[in-house]
Every structure is written in C-alpha cells, then in structure tokens.
Amino acid sequence: MNFASMLSYQHFPIYAIMVLFLGAFLIVLFGKNRIARHLLAFLAVAGSLSFLCALVPRVMLNGEIIAYWMGGRVPAGGYAIGIALEVDALSLFFALLVAVAVFVSCVYSFSYMNRDDNVPQYYTLFLMLAGGVMGLVLSGDLFNMFIMVEILTFAAVALTAFRNRATGALEAAFKYLVVGSIGSTCILAGTIMLYAQVHTLNFAQLSALIPGQLNNATKVAFALLFVGFSTKAFIVPFHPLAADAHGAAPASISVLISGVLTKSGLYGIIRLVYFLFQSMGLGTIQFMLVFIGSLSMFVCVTMALAQHDFKRLLAFHSISQIGYVLTAAGLCTALGISAGLYHAMNHTLFKGLLFLAAGAVLHETGTTDLDRLGGLSKKMPHTTALFLVGAASISGIPPFNGFASKWMVYQATYEKAVESGNIGFLLVTIIALITSVLTLASFVKVSQSVFFGQLPKEYENVKEVPFGMRFAMGIFATLCVVTGLFPKLVNTYLTEPAARAVFSVGHYINAMMGGGYAESVMGELAPAAQTVTFVEVGVWNPVSWLLVLAIMLLAVTLVAILGKYDRVSEQPADQKLAGKYDLFFGGEQSVYSQVGGGDLFWGFKHNWRHYFSFMHDLHSGVVNDYALWAVVALALCTVFLQIVL
C-alpha cells in the first residue's frame, strides 16, 4: 500500500477507531508529562472527529455505504471472510455523536482533572472507552461488536471507580461490573447461538440469513441480544446503574456514560430489530419498544424529582430522555426514526452540558447535595448561564434543540395514532408531554436549589471555573442553540439520511456482500427498496402549537386526577408536618427561607406518596436485586418473543 492510497477516504473508518486506541497506548508511554498527555489526548480525539467529518459528504449527502474489510479480504463465493467495518448514514450519525461528546469531554478534562492523582491512567481509560464505543458503532461484525462492548464496559467500570475515595464510587463500579457483565454475557451467548445457526458473524450476511431461519433458538438469541444492548442503554429496568455510575464518576466521564454509552446500546437495539431480525413490521415488536420507552420516560423522570443529589438527578433524566428515543424508534415510521435520532443527538448535547455544569459546581464547592447548595449564580455567573441553556433544552423550551426534537416525537406518536387507529399511541403522546412538564418542574427545582436563593456562608469564596471548562460547556451550549434554531438543516443533512438508512436493509446487505446478494439468498423475503418520505409540520407552526397545548392541558388534568389532590382541610392533624400547610402572606415581615432541593415540590410528592413509597422500596440499592432484574427481564423478553415472532 503506497502513501497516496493510505489517504483514501475508504480507510477513514479504521483510522477514526485506531487513532483513539493509539492515543491510549502512547499516553501509557509518555503520559507522565502533563503537556505530552494533553497533546496526545487532544490529537487523538480531534483526529477521530476529523476523519468522521470528512465522510459526511459521501455518506450523508450522496448515500454511499463504505465497506472496509480488514486485510483487504472481501466476500468470496457468497461467504464473508474476516472482519469488516461498515459506514452507512446510521452508523456515521452515531459515530459523529460519539466523536463530538468525546472531543468536548476531553477539552473539559484538561482543567477539571488537574486536582486528581493518576491522571495518565485516566486519559488511557478515557481513550479506551471512546475507542470501544467508536469500534462498536462502525463494526460490521457481530463478534467484533462484542469485543468492543467488553472494552467499553471495563473502561467505564474503571472510570466509575477512578475517584475511589469518593463515597459510593467502588460500590457503584461493582454494581456496574456485575450487571454490565450480565449484559455482555447475554450479547456473547446470543452471538454464539446465531453463529451455530448460520455459521457467520458478518452483520450484513446475518441480516440476509436470519429472517428465513427463525426458530426457537434464534428467538432466544434475539432476547439475549436485546437484553444485552438494553443494559448498555440503561433503559428500565437497568436504570439504577446509570444513577450509581453517574453519581460516582467524574463529570467528564458522566458525559460519556450518558451521551456515548447509552447511544451504543440504542444503536445495537436499532440494528437488531430493523436489520438483523427485520421484525419491526410486527405490531407486537413495535409495542415492546414503545412500551419500554414510555415506561423509561415516566419512571425515570419521577425518580429524578425525588433526588437530592445533582448528578443522580441528571442521571435519571438521562434515561428518561433515552425513553423518548426508544419510543420514537419503536413507531417504525420515517418521521418516528428521524425524531428519535434528532432527540438522540440533542440528548448528547444538552445532557453533556448539564453534566459538565454539575462537574463545575462539584469542582468549586466539593458537593452536589442540592440541600447544601444555593446562590451560586452570584459567584459562577457563566456556569449558571450555560446551565440554564441546558435546562431549557432538556425541558423542551423553544427555541432550544430539545423543543424541536420533542415536537417531532409528539407529532410522530400522534400521527401513528391517527394512521393506525390505535388510541394507545395518543396515550404515548400524553405520557411524553407529562414527562416534559415534570422535566421542566425538576429543573426549576435544580435551578432554585443550586444557583439561586441565598448563598451559604461556606461558599462565599467560591470562584468561577477555569476558562477551559467554560469553553467546553460553551461548545455544547452553542450547539444546543444552533440545532434548535435550524431544525430543517439538521433533518436534511443528518437525521433524514440516517433514517433512510434504517429502511434500506436490502441496500445495506448488497453494499457489504455484493450486488444482488440479498435477493439471491432471501428470495421473497428480500426487503424491497422503499421510497422514504418525511411529512412533518414545521416546528414554528402556530396551529400545531395549539394542538400541543390542548394535549398538554389534558396531560396536566390526568396528572391531577391520578395524584388525588389533597385539600388542606382534608389532612388529619397527626399527618400535618410543621409549616407544610401554613399559609404565608408576604409584606408583614422580611424573613428569608431557603427552599431546599427536597421541599420545592413537596406537595406533588406528598400527593403521589404511595407511588414514591413503592419506588423507594423497589430500588433497594442491592446489587443482587439488580442482577435479578436482569434475569427476570431476560425471561420475560424470551417468553414474549417466543409467542409473537
């Protein structure tokens, strides 16, 4: 291979992965020098992002699928030989999300990690985690995906325990290790079962062979793979892992766990149901994804309301937003997929920004306890402003990006209800709106508890964080605004090409295995070429806003009814807590009262006390229980798929 051919864009996928692993290796050798490790880490993440950006015109705009076979070994005689990478619009979309999050987190780390010990090991693990996720989303081989899952899982476990003197860090890492290993084992077992059936590990070839060979064994493999990837996405019932890991890990790693690891799980689920088993034409599979997504949305947003720790609250919100993505993907419509991918991108941006803001607070105050903080806007005005951009984005307030993608999710679920005649999808729209309202309420609580109100005396000497940390947050904040103001450009150049790739399974198989392969192997089962059109109402359409307002009022009414609102006079004397039901009239006396993180929505939580009591008992924090949840989820998924497939 000459130098000119090495610069061919065909090699960019492998370069985007290997530059991260190479950076990790070089930091082991030269990382003791601060300047050297920062330079190596920056060059690695910037190089990976650059290689992927260079592929956007060909893949996103021209629809090209890049097939890269290791060692130049291409399919021979209708059989895949060796390991392949593949880059279509879907995998490139997720790879870009990974690269952007990794780049910004790395820039943030240069200042954020300067007080820690063993910093060279941090950057080594950081780049190993990034390389593992990048390898997963670009891999065209199922076993290679498992190898990358193992790399990213153990790197994430080590980084969760990195600040091992912090309360709960080792415990969180152990929980992650146990349940994460269960998920990895499920992926390996599913891979082995599929290989035993069709004797290949190439993803495209598997996609051509499996739909014609569905039997009990392949259905069990489906369940194993689905549960395995679900543990990486942290969707219900695996959501407690996210709270523990986010709470213990450095904020820069929380960005990767939230914005990167969860996307690897979502990517695996989409590849599994749309490509490998091509099962999304079944209403039962759509129901499974939409149900789990809706459950994740609602359960995790209510769990967030009950939190007293800044980072744990953000962790539960992270999985709630992942629920939006999974719900939209489960609709099996062009608009649904586009909306889900749009929200996945936005989630990476605004959730990354919020975790970096939480890290800034921890960096300067030494705590993330919402009941101890307050008034930091006086000392950290830039961080406050950047946090508010992220809070408005995740809450779906226009003109920020969360509004645009949530609006598309509302429209996609509503249109699915109209087209299918199934009122259940309208209920999903209501759940999505309720979740958005509760998200806004939760971030009102955080804003009040952390940045406004009275500044505690112990934080009077707090200063604004270094410029490097603010610069990293500024990148995310800018992207939150830009992607919210120009949704048409985002859809045209990013989400719609990726959505078309989801519905182009036959083209994907033929691009990897050779023209006509899908038709020759699958016969009548070969996926027909589809003309994918996106019919959507503009984000700024006032008539549509009126419809959303009407549904939102219905949602609020439903919450009030389910909450069984208690009037003051109905409260027994022995249940009244001091001061909770006292009326306050302003003006008579100037009295300061700090509203703690646990009190701002005390009334709501009191009305829903039976629900919160049930959730408190259910989330025991015992790793044995979480492992049992994984086993039960696998059993239920296996039985369900045996029945419906």
Q: What is the DSSP string of 547-608?
A: HHHHHHHHHHHHHHHHHTPPPGGGS-GGGPPTTTS----TTSS-------TTTTTHHHHHHT
Tokens of 133: 């996720």
Is the model's pLDDT at 540 over the cut of 60?
Answer: no
Name the pLDDT band for 454 (thresholds 50, 70, 90): confident
Residue ranges in 424-495 assigned as alpha helix (H): 424-446, 467-485, 487-490
Residue ranges in 274-333 assigned as alpha helix (H): 283-305, 310-329
Is the model's pLDDT at 567 over the cut of 50?
Answer: no
Q: What is the DSSP string of 198-262?
A: HS--BHHHHHHHGGGG--HHHHHHHHHHHHHHHHHHT-TTSHHHHHHHHHHS-HHHHHHIIIIIH
Is the model's pLDDT at 416 over the cut of 70?
Answer: yes
Q: Cβ–Cβ contacts within 10 Å for residue 623, how many?
A: 18
pLDDT in tens, 568-579: 334 444 444 444
Tokens of 629: 């949840």
Q: Would you state the torsion angle of the CA atoms of residues 41, 46, 47, 52, taken in this order, to the nearest 10 degrees?
A: 140
* Contact between 420 and 463 (Cβ < 8 Å): no
pLDDT in tens, 381-412: 999 999 999 999 999 888 899 999 999 999 99
CA pair distance 248, 240, nearest whole angstrom: 13
Question: What are the phi and psi torsion angles at 67 (to 5°)?
Answer: -110, 120
Q: What residue has token string 């190439």? A: 202
Is the model's pLDDT at 438 over the cut of 60?
Answer: yes
Is the model's pLDDT at 543 over the cut of 90?
Answer: no
Q: Which has the higher per-residue pLDDT, 595 or 130?
A: 130
Which amino acid is located at 484 in the chain? G
Is the model's pLDDT at 566 over the cut of 50?
Answer: no
Strand-pairing partners, residue 432, are none
CA pair distance 350, 402, nearest whole angstrom: 8
Closest-CA residue to 83 (of 68, 93, 70, 98): 70
Question: What are the phi and psi torsion angles at 141 (to 5°)?
Answer: -130, 130
* Contact between 193 and 221 (Cβ < 8 Å): yes
* Contact between 274 and 340 (Cβ < 8 Å): no
Write down the pTM of the prediction. Answer: 0.91
Q: Cβ–Cβ contacts within 10 Å for residue 603, how many?
A: 14
Q: Which has the higher per-residue pLDDT, 55 or 534?
A: 55
Find the mean pLDDT for residues 634-644.
95
pLDDT in tens, 331-366: 999 999 999 999 999 999 999 999 999 999 999 999
Q: b/e map of 503-532 (b: 16 or more CB within 10 Å)?
A: bbbbbbbbbbbbeebbbebbeeebbeeeeb
Q: b/e map of 557-585 (b: 16 or more CB within 10 Å)?
A: eebeeebeeeeeeeeeeeeeeeeeeeeee
CA pair distance 277, 271, nearest whole angstrom: 9
Question: What are the phi and psi torsion angles at 277 (to 5°)?
Answer: -105, -10
Q: What is the DSSP letter of 14?
A: H
Find the mean pLDDT for residues 162-188.
92
Q: Which has the higher per-residue pLDDT, 126 or 560?
A: 126
Tokens of 62: 């021209």
Name the pLDDT band for 514 (thresholds 50, 70, 90): confident
Q: Cβ–Cβ contacts within 10 Å for residue 342, how many?
A: 29
Which amino acid is located at 336 in the chain? G
With the C-alpha atoms ordered 64, 65, 71, 72, is the resulting torsion angle positive or negative?
negative
pLDDT in tens, 464-510: 999 999 999 999 999 999 999 999 999 999 999 999 999 999 999 99
